[in-house]
Amino acid sequence: MEHSFLSNKAQIHTGAVLALPIYSVIKINKTNKQLSSENIQQNKLHKVDPDEKRLSKYKEKQLKRSGKMVVKRKFGWMYAPDKLEHWLETMEEKGYHLYRMSKVGTTFYFIIDCPRKVSYCADYQNIADESYFDIHRDAGWKSAFISYSSFQRWTLWSREYSEGEERPQIHSDKSHHLKHARRIAITYSCMFLPLIFVYILNIRISMEWTFDNHLGKIQMVSMISLALAILTFGSFLARTWLYYMRLRRLNECDL
């Protein structure tokens, strides 16, 4: 009787532990799909580079085959937007012009041409209406990517400038830029810290249970999955706060 009770308890606990990482994967996948679908809806209202014509898929394939179009992928760039900006600006200086990004924002399509100077700014906004886009576009900025979702609302702005000209910036006020970076770090902390806490709690419960019971293959897989989830979300958090600290050090050096 007691053995049956422990067995049922173990099955319930194992199911609960396994459900958490599975739920996270489903939630992330659902968020990505939502991001993609909302991108399509938002692009109808706020077209990405409205003055620039898009090439057909056939033309893109031709450019790829000829080596004139290069495709790069960057995952999780929103956790370190300054590094994305630097990378894109370096690519432009080498002659790789950013042509477009995928709907989810992880794939970058470059067309090889002459080197040029382009300033990039990845901007996070909780609310962005028509006036937000009009102000920046009137100032000469182009929206290379727009992602509107309940969790991540990013716009990647670009603006070409001449050699010897000062690099244009959207966040000209450094104190405001620092507050903006801090808000990004706090937003993602509120998003990921509860998940990390729940995963750590479940690993602790699993370890306590294994002291009195045999650790099965399913329990081991679930604990490894939870540990990987903690490392992944923890790395996201670390990158956002490192981004904030980099900006703070730059501000302190300029004082």
Identity of the residue numbered 62: Q
What phi and psi values does residue 204 have, to the nearest 5 degrees? -65, -45
Confidence of residue 41 (pLDDT cuts 50, 70, 90): very low
CA 97 – CA 160 distance, rounded (Å): 11
Mean pLDDT along residues 120-135? 86
Amino acid 90: pLDDT: 97
The residue with greater pLDDT, 222 or 53, is: 222
Q: What is the count of structural domains for the chain? A: 2
Q: Is the distance from CB of 226 to CB of 20 less than 8 angstroms?
A: yes
Q: Is the distance from CB of 154 to CB of 121 less than 8 angstroms?
A: no
Strands (DSSP E) found in 52-116: 69-73, 96-101, 107-112
Residue 169's contacts (CB-CB under 8 Å, 6 or more residues apart) are: 119, 121
CA 167 – CA 119 distance, rounded (Å): 6
Confidence of residue 253 (pLDDT cuts 50, 70, 90): confident
pLDDT above 70 for 47: no
Mean pLDDT along residues 112-126? 94
CA 32 – CA 152 distance, rounded (Å): 10
Which of the residue ranges 53-62, 103-112, 148-157 has the most confident prediction, judged by mean pLDDT?
A: 103-112
114 and 193 housed in the same domain? no
pLDDT above 90 for 93: yes
Last residue of one domain, picked from the residues 136, 170, 204: 170
Mean pLDDT along residues 55-71? 93
Range of the domain at 54: 48-170
214 and 246 housed in the same domain? yes
Amino acid 78: pLDDT: 93
78 and 142 housed in the same domain? yes
pLDDT above 50 for 229: yes
CA 70 – CA 63 distance, rounded (Å): 9
pLDDT above 50 for 39: no
pLDDT above 80 for 208: no
Amino acid 86: pLDDT: 97
Share above pLDDT 90 across residues of the chain, in percent, rounded to a whole number: 53
| Residue 43 placed within a domain | no
The encoded tokens of residue 13 equal 């606990």
Q: Is the distance from CB of 80 to CB of 242 less than 8 angstroms?
A: yes
| Residue 42 placed within a domain | no
Which of the residue ranges 21-30, 90-99, 118-127, 146-155 has the most confident prediction, judged by mean pLDDT?
A: 90-99
71 and 150 housed in the same domain? yes
Question: What is the number of alpha carbons within 13 Å of residue 67 lying toward its C-beta?
Answer: 0
What phi and psi values does residue 217 have, to the nearest 5 degrees? -65, -40
